[in-house]
């Protein structure tokens, strides 16, 4: 994934610029991001190194109101048995 690596490299360079003494405001402006975004990159880099700078999925790990697979399978089975919706 060449594009992904380029994004990670750009973020890494921004982080290194801050660690080398440039201000967050300067580096953020030069990279076209907000200071908050740059601070997030700095945190991620501190916690996980360069690999942590890659894009992350915004998909939640779980959904507390999702029905169980057993109930879902039963609903699907009932819908196939009664396609008109009348039981």
Backbone φ and ψ for 66, nearest 5 degrees, come out as: -75, 140
pLDDT tens digits, residue range 3-25? 456 899 999 999 999 999 999 99
Task: Determine, yes or no, domain membership for 86.
Answer: no
Task: Determine, yes or no, domain membership for 13.
Answer: yes
pLDDT tens digits, residue range 17-47? 999 999 999 999 999 999 999 999 999 999 9
**pLDDT exceeds cutoff 80 at 59:** yes
CA distance 13 to 30: 11
Please tell me the predicted confidence (pLDDT) of residue 2. 45
* Number of domains within the chain: 1
Whichever domain contains 31, its CATH number is: 1.10.10
Please tell me the predicted confidence (pLDDT) of residue 63. 86
Domain containing 66 equals 2-81
Instruction: Pick the closest to residue 35 from 19, 18, 47, 50 (CA basis).
Output: 18
Residue pair 53/41 in contact by the 8 Å Cβ criterion? yes
């Amino acid at each position: 994934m060449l594009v992904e690596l380029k994004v990670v490299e750009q973020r890494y360079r921004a982080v290194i610029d801050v660690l080398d003494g440039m201000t967050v405001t300067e580096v953020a402006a030069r990279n076209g991001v907000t200071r908050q975004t740059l601070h997030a990159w700095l945190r991620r880099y501190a916690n996980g190194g360069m690999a942590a700078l890659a894009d992350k999925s915004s998909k939640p790990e779980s959904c507390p109101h999702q029905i169980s697979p057993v109930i879902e399978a039963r609903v699907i089975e009932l819908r196939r048995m009664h396609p008109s919706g009348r039981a």
